[in-house]
Structures are given as C-alpha cells and as structure tokens.
Structure 1
Amino acid sequence: MTPSNDLPAAGLAANTALAQFRVVLSHTSHPGNIGSAARAMKTMGLQHLYLVNPKEFPSDVARSLASSADDLLDRAIVVNSLEEALAGTTLQVAMTARRRELVQPLHTPRQLVPELVTEAIGGGTIALVFGNETNGMTIDEVRLCNRLVTIPTNPDYSSLNLAQAVQVLCYELRAAILDDVSHLAEKRQLPSHDYMELFYKHLEETLITIGFLRTKTPKRLMPRVRRIVQRAQLDQEEVDMLRGVLRAAVEFERVTPPAQATPEADKPE
C-alpha cells in the first residue's frame, strides 16, 4: 500500500519531531534488511539512517526492498564505528533482547518513548541503535548507549527480524507524538554523547591521578563506573557539577596545620 502524501497537520508536526531521530544499524550482514528498515522508517516519518560497517552497501537488494524509500538509502551515512554514528546525540537507545549484568534499567518502547519524544521536541538528537541480525549489539556497543529498550515478545517465540524491530520502535514514537504524551517526561537539558565521552575520560584520568584506579587494569573498573553514571541519567548541569568536583579533587592539597607554640606555663623548666 502506498501512503498518501496529504498528511494532516498533526502528521506534519510528528514528522518535524521525528526529524530529531536517527536509526543506526550496526554491522548489518544482509543488505535486504537495510532496505526493509528504510521502508519501515519512512512509513513512520523517520528520515535519518546511519550504517556502521555494513557488509554490503550500496546494494540493489537493499534498494529493491526499500520499496520507494530509496531517498533514505541515498542519504544514508556510512561510518566505521558506532562512536561516529552517535556523535552529537543526547540520547542513545540500544535495542536488546537480553538482560546484561550491571546495566541501566531495561525499558519497553512504550515506557521509554515519552522521554525520547520530550527530548526530541526540546531539540535533542536521539539515536536508535540496532545490532547485527545474528548476535545483536555487542557489550562494548551497549556501553556507549545510555538507554536500553526491549520489545516484549511472546516468550515462547520471540523471533523478530531487524526491520520488524525498527518498525515497532518507530511506530511507538509516531503514535506517542500524535497522542502528545511528551508532558509525561521531565524536561531536562541532556549532555551530548561527545560531552559524556569527555566526562568519562576526565573521570578516568582523575581516578588514576588520585590513586583509585590502577593503570594496569582500567578496563575492569571503568565499564562499571560508566554504568553507574548511565543509571543516574545525568543532565548537562549535573555533569558540569561533577566535572568541577573532579577538578577540585586533583587540585586539592592537604595542608598540615602549623605546630602550635607551647604555652609559657607548660614549658619545662
């Protein structure tokens, strides 16, 4: 079915908010899934597609399955790393089907969408990240995201292909915007992905300087510290405050009080 070009005013407003979203497909192995994901996106009004190291792209197969969403494929941005795809975003949403140890809370799309919509309306940029078709997102990829979402499928048969997962999340976004549920989420200015990465670097350097983090084994502790910070869901002002604390911790010098003079009455004879 070909969608009508005569969108009502509410639909046009939804498209404006959805322009703040980018769909990121990481290490997609089959080009057909890229085309199908583009079709799912365009149907719901999302326009920005990022591809991290796709196995095959451009592709005639992708173009065929895009079904008139060729323009999204033509504008797709291909990058070498997930970090590049997340640059400039304020929220990074990892789509995962598995619970992992020591991670931020796992939400359903409907639980998380109000916050995403509010951030988009406020001008933030949100990345919706989907992993490889076979293995999903890696642990390292999930660590770069500050929100986790999972689709509550039938526990006896939970098989969703990549494009279906994209379609579900994009639909929930559009439906929420049309229903105007953005007032349900707290409005806060969130730091960009780039700024948070600078914060993590600053934090690691400070922990090394004050002797808390051993330089030989930083990878054992820092992922846990990162997850603690992600669960806190800090806003821009809170991150700035913590960076001030880090600077003060490095600059602080303990001054030993000068020895007090012995009173005359207490001097030995």
Structure 2
Amino acid sequence: MSKRTEQPGTDTGASRVTHASARTQTELQQRLIERYSRKAQPSWLVSLRIGMKSLLWILVVRSAYVLKRTLDIVLAGPLFLLLLPFFLLLALAIRIESPGSPIFAQTRVGRWGELFKMYKFRSMYIDAEARKAELLATNEMAGGVTFKMRRDPRITRIGRFIRKASIDELPQLWNVLKGEMSLVGPRPAVPAEVETYSLADRRRLEVTPGITCIWQVSGRSDIPFDQQVELDVQYIESQSLWTDLKLLWQTIPAVVFGRGAY
C-alpha cells in the first residue's frame, strides 16, 4: 500500500477546517436559494432577492444606531453646556472639602471590551482606591462582582449628597459626546469586574455602555448583580428609540427619590 505524502509546511488540520468552512457556507447559500426561490425564477434573481434582504437588514440596524447617536448628541450637548456653571461651583466645593482633583477619571470597559476613561465628580477622599482592599470583606453588593457599601467611610460629605442625587455621574455627558458612552445602556464596569464575568455576563459588552439603564431606574444598587445582567440583556434584545426615551423619562423620579443610590 502506498502512503500519502505531505508537502513540507502543509497544515492539513488548517486545510480541513478551511474546506469544512467553505462547505458549510455553500450549504447555507443553497438552503437560502431553496427557501427564497420560486418556480421559473432564474438563480441570479434569487441571489438578488437574498442580497436585497441582507442590505435591508443592514440599513435597519445602522439607522437604529444613527437615531440613537443623534438622540445622544441632541440631548447631551445642550445639557452639558447648560450645566457648565454648576459644574464649576461643584468642583470648587469638592476641592475645598477634600484636596485633590474634583474630577475622578477611571478606566472602564466599553463595547466589545474597549477601554476608555469614564469621568465622575469625585465623591471620595483622594486615597479611596488604596483603601478599597481593606473594605472588600464588607461588600454589601449581592453576587460579589461589584463593590458597594451603604456607609462607605471613604465618601466625603459632599460626595454622599452628589451620589444620592446621581450628580456625580453628570461629567459622563462628555463621554457621551465623545461616543464612548450613550445616554442609555448597560453601566460600564471596571476591568477587574469584567475579568470575573461569565460568558453570559459578557453579553453586557455587546452595546455601548450608558449613563442610565433599566436597573438604574428600578432600584440601582438594591438589585443583585445577576438580575442586573438579566435586565441589561433584556434591554439589548429590545432596544429602540422609544425604549431609550422611556428610560430617560423614568430616570427623573429615580434620581429625585434616590432609591438604591449609595
């Protein structure tokens, strides 16, 4: 019996994968043709119909993104300019109570795992990150992925107020204008949290993160992490311009009453 010889440097495993992939694609194309073909229709017309349906789907998806981005700019731009005088006064008050920059920039994980700097008004003392390791055992957030304490000793007096009223999040309007965040979307996590995510949890990274979301208007930190993920996935699967407008409207009473904010 003759043995099959292989040329040096030939990767037969990769070749098999390539052939299998091509065969799968061909089979998929054939099924699509069979599904959309009609009697006495030429194959080129069937292919054209399939191409038109694909193009229509792409246009729908991209137009939804354009509408969402337009809403972000139209609302975030004027609001940011309107609040600038207030931002300056608040920054001064923060600096007087606790020396250091009034703006806290933290690395967060955006869409598809892209890192960016998220901005907040500093609500903690300047050494807060260094002291966090000492407090991990007292984490009150169910699930243990994110860290929350109702009476966090690292929070300043002004910080406690601006966190309760969600004022500390307002600098993120700048992140929205830059396109790193959206007004509505899953809250961006820090890299250390994402490292502990399960495969299901990583679905949160499929869209641009936002300032407000479903669980932000439904109890915020009172909602366990697993349920937060479920609500984020629910938003991802049903997002629309109307959903974003509704969540923005629901954010107003959530901020006013401060439920679950600490």
TM-score, scaled relative to structure 2: 0.23
Say which one has the larger Rg: 2
Larger relative contact order (Cα-Cα within 8 Å, sequence gap ≥ 6): 1
Structure with a larger share of its residues in helix: 2
